[in-house]
Structure formats: C-alpha cells, structure tokens
Amino acid sequence: MTLAAPSSEAQLAALRDLAAELPIASSERALVDRSLDIFSNLLPGRGLCVRVVDVRTREPARTYVRGAPLRDGIEHDPVTINEAALTRAHVKSAVAASARLNLRDRWDSPFTGMATGFAMPLAAGGEMYGILDVGYAPGTDARITDESTLIPLANHLAVALRIVKLQDDALGLRDYQARLLESANALILGIDRSWRITVCNRAMLDLTGFNRDEVLGRDVRDFISSDQRQYLTSAFAAALVGQHHAAVTVALPTRSQGQVRTVWSIAPVGRAGAPGGSIEAVVAIGQDQSKIEALQQQVVRAERLATLGELAAGVVHELNNPLTSITVYAEYLVRKLEAQGSEASDLEKLRRIGGSAQRILRFSRDLVQYARPSGRDLEPVDLAGVVRQSVSICEHLVERGGIDLSIDVDPELPMIHAVQGQLEQVLINLITNAVHAVESGGKVSVRAQIEGPASVLIEVADSGPGVPEEDRQRIFEPFFTTKPDGKGTGLGLPIVRNIVDQHRGEISVTRSDLGGASFRVVLPIA
C-alpha cells in the first residue's frame, strides 16, 4: 500500500505555518513540537522522530516523536544516517562527521514496528542540529515523495533550530558575563554617555550598604559627595573622550552616612566597528582602600615587633641587674629609717625611688612579653578554671577599690585548646584595666559562655567612662594609653591582642550594658 502524497497547496500551507513559527519560537521544545504537529498533519500515518544533536558535545541530546513508539534505548544510541540522504539534502559528509553521525548505507529505525523509512539531516550554517526520521508501517511506503516534500520543511526547521540555539547562546553568554561581574572580588561600576550608572556589582553594594535599585540609573555625579565629586567625575569625563585613568582615589558614601576610601582604574568602552572609535560607556574597576591600609598596618606592626624585640633584649640586659639592686636597697633603707623614726618625707622619697624602679622593671618585662612569640604548644584547657583563677589573682585590686564584681560562667563551657598561662594573662590584664577604669563603688562583670558551635566568649565589662569611638582601634597599638601619665605603659592591650591572635581568636571593644567599656574575646574551641 502506498500512502497518499500531499498536494502542493498543502505543502505551501505547511511551509507558511512553519515559517510563522520562526520569529515566535521561545524554546527548542516548543519549536520541534510545533514542527512535528505540522509534519503530522501534512504526512498522516507516518512515524516522525527528531533527534536533536548538541552542537557542543556532538552527541544526541533530546528526542521528539509523533505517530509511533520509539524502541527502547534509542535516546542513548549513536545517530546514523545514509550518505545518499546527505547528498539529496546537499549536506557535505564532513558536516555530518563533525556531528559524530554514523554514516551507513542503510537506515536504522528508531521506531518499534517500523522497519522501513529514511533519515533526513537538519543542517544550517555548516552545523548539524539534528536528524529527522520518517518511518512507515509494514506494507506502506512513500519515501520518494515524502523526501521531496520534507526537504524545504527540514531546511526551515534546521534554520529555526539554529536561531533558537544562537538565542540560547547569547542569553547564556550574557548571564555568564553578569555572573562574572557579580562574583568579581573587585568593585565594578559602569556608566553610559549620560552619566547614568548602568552596572554595579555585588562587591560595590556590599561595601556601600546600598541596594541595587538605589544605585542603578542614578547620575554618578549625584552619587558622590560634593567634596569628592571632582576626583571621580573628571576621570569619567576624560574616559568619555577616550582617556584612561589609574589610581583615582575617592571616598564613597555609605548607607550609614559614612564614607569608605576606594581607589579606581577607569577606562573607556568603545563600540566595536564604530567609526572613529566612538565611546559608548565607561567602566571603573575599584578596590577597597581600607583593605590595603590594613595590610600596610600589618607590615608596620611586624616591623615594630621586630624593632621592639631587639630593643627589649638590650633593655632587659642593661636594666635588670641595676634596677633590682635599686629596688632591694630602697626597701632596705625604708625599713631602716622607719626603725630609726626618720622623717616621713624622707621615707616617702625612698618609697618613690623603689616604686619607680619597679615600674621600669615592669615596663622592660612588658616589652619582652609583647615582642616575644609564644613558643608553647596548645593543650586542652578548662576555661572555667582559668576564669576563676584569674579573678582570684585580682581579688586584692577589687577589694581595695571597693568594686562590685559579678562573675557569670556557663557550667557547660567546653575544654579549649590554648596556653593556660597566656589566657590567665589576658583575663588579669582586662580585669585590672576594668578596675582602674571605675571609681570606688563601680561595677565590673566577667562573663564566659559558649558563643557558637565552634567558639567561646570571654567578656570583661565595667561601669567606667568607656572607650571613645575614635580610640577603639588605637588602644591596641603599642604605647597608646588613655591612662594618666605614670599609670600605664600602653603595652597591656597590645600584649592581650597578640595572645588572642596567637590563639586564632578575635578581640573587640564596645559599650557595655553597665555604661562603660566591654572587651569581648572570642576563641575557637579547637
């Protein structure tokens, strides 16, 4: 039995329907499903199968079928085609070979119960996009007339598949580039020729605290504060006429009404192929200057440590013995003059001599402690025991100052890996500072608790005057002190920070609930 061939009017109608699908096809599936519907109406009683080839991997990717069931496993079989079919469709065998199609002198049916039929290539622009298989039920055949009918339709489908593929590639490239910009570890800002911000990546938003809607579309000159505007806008104006600028330093506004220092490289973006190298946009790549400044501070701090290490060794060697002698002899003379009933003024002078010598000794020991690395291995430490021991050592200071001391230690505190003596030094230093900060009758609290699944918190707070905002970073610098002259060396908190750093922890200072300062030390459990 021979199947009826479609009329020329039916072929033209099918071509018109298929051509109408080209500009509105939203996806490969929608396009192929609609095309197979058109083919089925034109050629009823046939089995129709489109196997789309992935242009990147050159492997069959998806299979669409009408009019007959597919045989098992066809989705994973290599696609085969007859060389004669390539010749009739005017497709070079090299194109089929590049798509990894198997060239054979016979047709391999993808259908169940259909042994006769043919395959037609779907090729456009030198690329193979798939295969159209047509199968016939036993006892029927219309291969010759069906091939001539389907060649123009297959060509239209191939072109449509190419367009959809190019659209997908363009959208994918655009999304990929957007993800690159968004994930870049640098500040990225783009403006058009009207000075409007068109690009702003996540790093820029995180740094300034604004959301994307508050930045995009805004005039860049309005985004920058008036005192900083001249630096950035002059560089953007130069870029709009083709000039490049590097190392432009600008303080950007933040949502918290503050500013953050940044440094930028600014470059023009020309339109490809535009006459005279027309500039259509400007791109600026920036870096948070505070990160660079933090690195510089680390370098300065390391150099200062090295210098102090050399200085401390010399100071201790030269001063220790004579100062010890001065201290011992001063104490001896005080006791002797007290026994002789000498004048109180003379005794006070001797006590001051001894006290000054002790102060110099403490200062030299602090220098050594600050500059010397730990050199000790971490071991399991009972943090609750460290807190109790440190508070016990400071009891005489608390009692003498009439301080109201409260202690809150979580009974579930875990063991942590640390150097016990150094943790005690941290706590003793912080408690001593808190006692000195409050007047008689003031309050000091010591708290230790679990901070998270992998860390613990030690907090020492007081009811004193607190630490001014502008001093909260400087108090950890060597020799910086807010105490009156003669009351502090400015090395206590730097020593504390060094110990915390060696334990891979963090220390910070905020305002406490008691009204004064709150020093928070967070340490890892392991």
DSSP states along 381-445: EEHHHHHHHHHHHTHHHHHHHT-EEEEEE-TTPPEEEE-HHHHHHHHHHHHHHHHHHS-TT-EEE
> 489 pLDDT band (50/70/90 cuts)?
low
Best CA proximity match to 47, nearest among 32, 69, 62, 63:
69
Contact 443/496 with Cβ under 8 angstroms? no
Number of Cβ within a 10 Å radius of residue 54: 14
Mean per-residue pLDDT, 9-24: 73
The DSSP secondary structure of 85-100, one letter per residue, reads HHHHTT--HHHHHHTT
Mean per-residue pLDDT, 27-55: 86
Q: Compute the C-alpha angle 374/376/382, nearest 5°.
A: 105
**pLDDT value for 460:** 92
| pLDDT higher than threshold 50 for residue 223 | yes
Lowest mean pLDDT among 17-26, 44-53, 247-256, 328-337: 17-26
| pLDDT higher than threshold 50 for residue 248 | yes
> 97 pLDDT band (50/70/90 cuts)?
low
Contact 118/82 with Cβ under 8 angstroms? yes
Helix (H, G, I), strand (E, B) or coil at 215: helix
| Beta carbons within 8 Å of 331's beta carbon, 6+ residues apart | 354
Tens-place pLDDT, residues 147-200: 888 888 888 888 888 888 888 777 777 677 777 777 777 888 888 888 888 888
Does domain 8-176 sit in CATH 3.30.450.40? Answer: yes
**pLDDT value for 131:** 85
| Beta carbons within 8 Å of 378's beta carbon, 6+ residues apart | 417, 418, 419, 503
Does domain 184-270+278-289 sit in CATH 3.30.450.20? Answer: yes
Q: Compute the C-alpha angle 297/300/304, nearest 5°.
A: 135
> 458 pLDDT band (50/70/90 cuts)?
very high
- Edge-to-edge order in the sheet of strand 47-53: 60-66, 47-53, 127-136, 116-124
Tokens of 415: 């063991």
- Length of the chain as a residue count: 526
- What letter would DSSP give residue 70? B
Best CA proximity match to 362, nearest among 496, 490, 494:
490
Tens-place pLDDT, residues 290-312: 767 766 776 676 666 666 666 66
| Beta carbons within 8 Å of 404's beta carbon, 6+ residues apart | 441, 442, 443, 444
Contact 68/114 with Cβ under 8 angstroms? yes
| pLDDT higher than threshold 50 for residue 29 | yes
| pLDDT higher than threshold 60 for residue 277 | no
Mean per-residue pLDDT, 475-480: 73
Lowest mean pLDDT among 149-158, 300-309, 326-335, 355-364: 300-309
Domains 8-176 and 184-270+278-289 share a fold: yes
Report the C-alpha gap between 169 and 395 in whole angstroms.
73
| pLDDT higher than threshold 80 for residue 361 | no
Contact 370/311 with Cβ under 8 angstroms? no
Mean per-residue pLDDT over the chain, rounded: 79
Tens-place pLDDT, residues 52-69: 887 665 556 788 999 899
Find where tokens 């016939």 sit.
136
Report the C-alpha gap between 120 and 296 in whole angstroms.
68
Cα torsion 425, 427, 430, 435 to 10°: value is: -110
Report the C-alpha gap between 399 and 102 in whole angstroms.
94
Kind of pairing between the strands at 443-452 and 455-462: antiparallel
Domain limits, the chain? 8-176, 184-270+278-289, 293-371, 379-524
Lowest mean pLDDT among 241-250, 422-431, 455-464: 241-250
Report the C-alpha gap between 161 and 22 in whole angstroms.
9
**pLDDT value for 457:** 92
Which one is predicted more confidently, 157 or 257?
A: 157
**pLDDT value for 273:** 45
Report the C-alpha gap between 526 and 379 in whole angstroms.
10
Percent of the chain with pLDDT over 90: 4
Which stretch of DSSP H or E encloses residue 104? strand 102-104
Best CA proximity match to 197, nearest among 217, 213, 178:
217
Tokens of 309: 């290490």
Which one is predicted more confidently, 316 or 402?
A: 402
Report the C-alpha gap between 469 and 465 in whole angstroms.
12
Q: Which CATH class name applies to 379-524?
A: alpha beta
| pLDDT higher than threshold 70 for residue 251 | yes
